[in-house]
Structure formats: structure tokens, C-alpha cells
A and B are shown apart, each in its own frame.
Chain A
Amino acid sequence: MQTGAALSDNMMGAGEFAADGTEAGTQYLTFICAGEEYGIDILRVQEIKGWEGATHVPHTPAYILGVMNLRGLIVPVIDLRTRFDLEQRPFNASTVVIVVRVRCSLAEKTVGLVVDAVSEVYTFPGEAILPPPEMGERIDGACINGLASAGDTMVMLLDIDSLIASSIEHI
């Protein structure tokens, strides 16, 4: 069993793959942000949509781009590059918003994450996931669940709950 092989270019194929049941493990949607690849538990991903702008909300950190209308829901949008203190770049056609559902302040919240581009869907068995890097890495260690290698790249698996909680609770 080859861990972390790229399975599909089409992330919508993820469901089909799971139905095959050929591999055991957790499925992750990965995306690119400033050249790095990050993974989110696919069950947390509600949808992926193009960047359509957001309404500015005053007195919030720079990484809060504002709020957007998601079929009647008011959903905050977080710019992950800014959140991770990565180099800024203008939004373009491939800039996407990954809409995730998280648990935060004892409630379920829906939040949009702006990333450079969606990458792949991988299945990582538990044993293929390495412990998170030490503190002092580029990204706040608390928000990384672990690392997994996909071919010759390393995917950082995000603890999406604490990432979002730390992003919107203490501002």
C-alpha cells in the first residue's frame, strides 16, 4: 500500500474513492498557500467556491477579509496567507474560498478560508501521520495536527478547529 499517492485530480472524485473502500484512513483535502501544501479533514469541507469579495468588518485583524453571503448565511472569510504571516499576493482567478465547518466556542460555525488553489485529495492512514513540528516553526504549532508525506512533498495537516477558534475568538 503506497501511502499518500495522488489519487485524483478532481477533488469531487473523493467520494467515489471512499466508496471503493480500498484504503483505510482519513481523507484530506489539500490546498496550496505560498508554495506550501496544507490538508484539512475532508469531512469538514462544506464547499469550495471562487473568490467573490467580502464586506469589510471594522476592528478585526487584517486576516479577516470580512463577511460574505453564503446562501443567506453571514460567513466570515479568513485570508490564510495573512493568518500565517506569509507573503501577500493579489487574488486572481484561481484564488478559492474553502468553506469549512468547525467547532468553535461550543458552537458549530461556518467559515470561509481563502487559499491560493485547491490541490488534491489524499487518504492518510493514521500511522502515516507524523507528530506536528516543534513550536517555533513557521506556523503556530497548535494549529497543526501532524505531517504526512505525499510523494516528495510534505503536507501539513491543519487542526482546523483551533485554527479558526484562535482566528476569531481573540480579536
Chain B
Amino acid sequence: MTIDLAQFHEMFFQESAEALDTMEQTLLQITEGTVEKEQIDTIFRVAHSIKGGSATFGFTGIASFTHTIETLLDLVRTGRIGITPNEMDLLLRSVDVMREMLSAEQYKRPLDEQAVADLQDSVKAVIARSSGAAPTPVPAPAAVEPGSSVPVPAAPAPAAAPGAERWRIGFRPGENLLARGNDPLRIFRELSRLGEMSVRVDAAGLPPLAQLDPHRCYLNWNLELAGPREREALDQVFDWIGDDADIRIDAPVIDAPVTPAAPRAEGSAVAPKPAPEPMPAAAAQPAPVAPAAVKAPETRAAGGEAPKAAPSESTSIRVSIEKIDELINTVGELVITQSMLSQLMVNMDGPQSEELRNGLGHLERQMRALQESVMRVRMLPISFVFNRFPRMVRDLSQKLGKKVELRMTGEQTELDKTVLEKIGDPLVHLVRNSIDHGIETVEGRRVVGKPEAGTIHLNAYHKGGNIIVEVIDDGAGLNRERILAKARERGLIGPDEELSDDRIYNLIFQPGFSTAEQVTDVSGRGVGMDVVRRNIMELGGNVQIFSNADHGSTVRIRLPLTLAILDGQLVRVGREVYVIPLVSIVETIQIRREQINSVAGGRAELLRLREECIPILRLYQLFEVEADTTELDDGLLTIVESDGQRMGIFVDELQAQQQVVIKSLETNFRQLTGISGATMLGDGRVALILDVPGLISLFESREKQARDDRQAAVRHAA
């Protein structure tokens, strides 16, 4: 009979985290002195919802803290105080503290109670100053200070004129309302503050104790509220309920002329506003109508993990990622079955074979469309990641005493949720690096005649089947000579080896490569660009850096749109079939013996192709399988490229190009270098998918090993 409240805690934590992100972003959008009503409303709503939820779940510390913040915000909202840098700082720190408190509850971690109390005191001090010695204007909820609000207080601020409109509210809870932390008691308490309220309960559905699920709400209510002129005020109270309850708000009867809205903070609101138009439509609407002031919701993938910034947007639903993945898997299986059928058809004759073939052709196209739309469900805009940067850039530049402006473009570019989650850390690292090492100090910039404030530009766009994310700064650029010196010192390149600038710059992605002259607090602590590159490569992407001395540098990350399907080229080696990602393939050629240079005593082979020398990887050798041929001019060479490096993979035969569903080898087995996963072929067999960057490094390390062995043998012989 009992339900696991923990899952609802989980939901509360997740929603609160998202809400705090919204709060932070909104705070950062506020330019000094001018607070838009919608901004403060958004922020207020977040604090309010977190307070309510945490009180419900018994996180009294959080409830108490957010209550204080709410009080401060209320003062801002009603125009009694403005947001100066001091308040801004307090509020941003409060966001951090709330995050800390929430994760302390979530992960049962210790919390710096003193820091919380200190900040709370600072906020209280601001409140006290602005409201004189008067008590805080927002009455404390009973959950925080039990029993303190016995008489239902009339609305403190927008008191209703006698004979004013009475809103009629029908409230029909859904099954999960209570368990999700939406407590009608709390909601009614809020409502009662807006004006005189009468409550009628309908308990007809309440079963006897023996049949009662105590976590489910069986009661329905009809409320009448003499009260707020703005429907928005009501909607705010019902915020966060989403579709856990059916809420009907019937327009009040107007029997008094409407007076202009008074509070200054409502500046932008149109007043006098006729009382909300009678809304027959509202009756049919399960969710409260979005407050008009909430900024237009960002476009987002339907069903994705949307933020709760605009919770009333009933056109999207929250679906667990497992369900989506299940769907994607099933569609993946369908694709395999379909391609199996197509394969069977190839050799089929008979009167109806042509029709069957046509039908299968349709099926194939429809399958592809289906697969695409299913994959899109997992796609989310990259703004989910970008949004953390305004705060980070602000904090970091302050700390380093630099001036940095952040520009973001292409935030709506969508990519797979898993890619999205994993790209955050590398991007943070890159942006940190740019601020720390790229952007010069104010003086430094003045000397070279640049504007005092440096710019970091985050840019995202689609290109081909990939998403490109760029971190561009207008700082000093990379120091070519220092990188070169360091690379020689580390033995990454030979003492006389000459490299193109691009190759030199990309050396910074080598393991253990850090040229920061001093280890700073911000970056240069050993976790280097190699980790960034590795993370990106694990996602099947790559990263490149371009630099221009004194003009800045650009890091360009290329990522696959999704991790679940891939355009592949099937190649055969003996009895084995492998998939090479099409994006890595430059071309496939037949070669002639005279194009081959043997070096290192015949152990290494190079293909002379136009101006280049390309190492040849005999796949059968590396993978220890039996091939049809070991003669290079009998087979084919598929030229692949990764990170500007090319290699020729020697195979027996080229087969079809097709989209394959990527299956992890790790799920039941383990990760293997040079192999990024596996897929099912039309005949049900498993084919391994080659990981080109991994293959190149595997090949190189084997070659190096062989070289070392030979040298050792030579020394030994001598």
C-alpha cells in the first residue's frame, strides 16, 4: 500500500535544480537597476515553488531559507527595493546555497550550515533595512513556523474592494498530486492571502480507511475568492501543479469598476486591464494558463527534459529516458528486420516479386522517417549547456580581474541528450582556458590596442550529420614557439621536425601537455586539453584548434547528432564484416604495388598518394583474422582521417553503405580500443564498428612497440 516517496523526492530535486538554473539565468539577464516584471516574477516563482516543495517533504532548512529569499524578492517585486549589485550578489549566492542545500538533502551530504545561516542573515539584514523595523511582509507558512497563521489573513497588499469580483475555482486533484509534493493545503493557504476565501469540500469520493490509499487525494474542492484583480496572481499559486490536478478558474462577475493596478513593479503591465475576459475555454483547460508575463518558452524537443520555466505549457510531456530508449531500440530492431527482408528479396523471382519489392521500398523510406522522428525525441537544444556559462564567465572574470563579455549564438541547435550531458564538462574546461589563458588583462589589451573587454563567443550549428560547437575568443592566441619548445622537450616531436601551424596548435591536445607558465587556480592543474579531447572522442567527435597570434583562438568541436545510429560503410576482411563510419572515410582506392614505400626494413608500409605519404594498416594483421588476400594490389584501401591524420585500411572488399544501429559492446562485455561498438546486420550476424581515432592510435602504438623491439634486438645483437 505504501508508495515510495523517494521517487517523488527525486522529481522534486530534479525540478528544483532546473528551476534554480532558470532563476540563475534570469538573474543574469537583469541589467543593473532595471528589473522587468516578468524577470522578477520568474525568480519569485522559483523561490516560491522550492519553498513549497521543500516544506512538503520536510526539508525545513531549505524551506526556511527560501522563505527568506522569497521575502526579499517580494520586496523587489512590490518595488520597495531595487536590485543593486549587492542584492544581485546575495541572490546569486543564494542560488548556490539552495543548490548546495538541495544536493545535501538529495545525496545525504554534509552541509555548511554556518554559510547558509550567514547568507540568510545578510539577506535578512537587507530586508530589515528596507522595511524599517516592520516585520516581514510575507507571512510565514505554517510548515515553517507551525501554528503562526491561525486566522486566515486577508490579502496584505492587493486587498479587494468590497463587492469586487469573486473568482470561482474548481480544484480536482489527480492521483499523484500529493505524492508529488503539491499540497492543496499550502495552495489554499496562498490563495487565502490574496483575499477572503470560502472553501467547500466534496468528500463523496473519500473511501473508508480500509480502502484508502493515503497518498492519493480523494477530495475535490470549490473555492470562492474575493480577490486579486489579476488572474496571474491565481495562476502563480497554481504553478508547478502542472497536470497533476484539474483546475478550473471561472472568471469573476465584475460588479465594481476596475481601478488601475497600483504596484510600481507592474510597470509594464497594461492597466487598467479589464478583468480577465470570461473564459469558457478555461473550463476545458486542465492546466492553468501561463501568466502573460512569462517570456516566450524556448523551443524544445517534445517530451524531452524540459525545464519547468513555463510549467503551464501543456503541449509537452515529461517522459522517462528509459521509455524513449526502449522505443529507439525497438525501432532499431525494426530497421534490422526490414533490411533483412530487403536482403531476402534481392534474389526473389515470381509474379509478385516486383510489387513486393516496391512495398519494401516504401517500408524502407517509412522506417527511415520513423527512425528519424524517434531519434529527434532525444534531442535537446544546446542552450541547456550554454546556460551555465553567463554565470561562470561572470564569476571567473571577476576573480581574475579581467573583463570578459560572453556572446552565445545557435543556442537552439539540437543534439542528443547523452551527447549534451557529456559535452558540458569539456566546454567548461575550454571556456575556462580561454578566460584564463586566452583573454588578456585589461592593461594587456589596452597595450595592444584592443577593447578592454575581451569576448568569448560560444557558437553552435549543424553541418552535415554533425553538430559543430565553437569556443571563440579574441585573446592573445596560442604561443606557437612555446608549444613547439614544449613538444620538443617532451619528445612529442623530433628536434628537427617541422610542422604546420595547425599541427603545432593541436599538439596541446596531447596528454600531459600544459604550457601555462604558472598553475593558476582556474586552470592548468594537470587536467588538460587531452582530457577534453578524450571526452569528445568518446562521443565519436573530434576537436581542432585554430589560432591567430594577438587575434585569439577558436576551438571547434565536431560531434555526431546522435549516438544511436551511424552512417556506415561495410567492409569485409575474410569472413568478418566491419563497419567504418562514413564521416571518417576520405576515399577508397585500388592501389598498385609501385605506390607503396616500404620503410623500417619492410615492417612499415606507406602509400604515396598525391603529395602525401599515408601509412597502411593491414586490418587482418591488426585484428588477427584470416583475409582473402595479403597482396596489397588484390584488395582495397579505404583512406580514413581523424584529427587531420590519414591512414589507409587494407580490406578485401567494400560492401553496402547503410545506416546502422549502434549497440554498445560495453553493456555486456567491455570497451575495446579501436572498436566503438557493434551492430546487427541484415542476416542477424554481429558486425563490429571501427573507431577510427582509436584504431589510428592503436596502430601507432603497435608500430612504436615493434620499432622499440627491433631497436632492442639490434642493441642486444651489437
Contacts and interface: CB of A to CB of B under 8 A. Distances in A.
A66 B625 CA distance: 12
Interface stretch (B80-88, B221-229, B668-676): B668-676
Contacts of B625: 56, 58
Given A67-B686, A69-B684, A72-B680, A56 B576 contact: yes
Contact of A168 (B576, B669, B680): B669
Contacts of B622: 58
Nearest to A108: B668
A75 B668 CA distance: 6
B665 interface: yes
B624 A58 contact: yes
B332, B336, B668 pick with most chain A CB within 10 angstroms? B668
Given A56-B576, A69-B684, A74 B623 contact: no
Nearest to A75: B668
Given A74-B667, A110-B668, A169-B670, A55 B680 contact: no
Given A69-B680, A72-B680, A57 B688 contact: yes
Interface in B650-701: 663-665, 667-670, 672-675, 677-678, 680, 684-688
A68 B677 CA distance: 13
Contacts of B680: 69, 72
Interface residues of A, number: 23
A168 B678 contact: no
B405 interface: no
B672 A74 contact: no
Given A69-B685, A74-B678, A60 B672 contact: yes
14 contacts: A55-B678, A56-B576, A56-B623, A57-B675, A57-B688, A58-B674, A66-B686, A67-B665, A72-B332, A74-B667, A74-B669, A75-B668, A76-B669, A171-B670
Contacts of B684: 69
Contacts of A69: 680, 684-686
Nearest to A59: B672
Interface in A7-66: 54-60, 66
Given A57-B675, A59-B672, A67-B678, A72 B686 contact: no
B333 interface: yes
A73 B144 CA distance: 52
Contacts of A73: 663, 667-668
Interface of B: 329, 332-333, 336, 576, 622-625, 663-665, 667-670, 672-675, 677-678, 680, 684-688
A55 B665 CA distance: 12
A169 B666 CA distance: 11
Contacts, number: 72
Contacts of A58: 622-625, 672, 674-675
B667 to A, nearest CB: 7
A55 B670 contact: no
A71 to B, nearest CB: 8
Contacts of A81: none
B333, B664, B673, B688 pick with most chain A CB within 10 angstroms? B688
Given A67-B665, A74-B663, A74-B664, A168 B670 contact: yes
B668 A109 contact: yes
Given A66-B686, A67-B686, A110-B668, 7 more contacts: A55-B685, A57-B672, A68-B686, A74-B677, A107-B667, A109-B669, A168-B670
A57 to B, nearest CB: 7
Contacts of A54: 686
Nearest to B677: A74
Contacts of B685: 55, 69
A69 B680 CA distance: 7
A55 B687 contact: yes
A147 interface: no
Contacts of B623: 56, 58-59
A58 B673 CA distance: 10
A72 B675 CA distance: 18
Nearest to A72: B333
B29 to A, nearest CB: 42
Contacts of B670: 168-169, 171
A74 B665 contact: yes
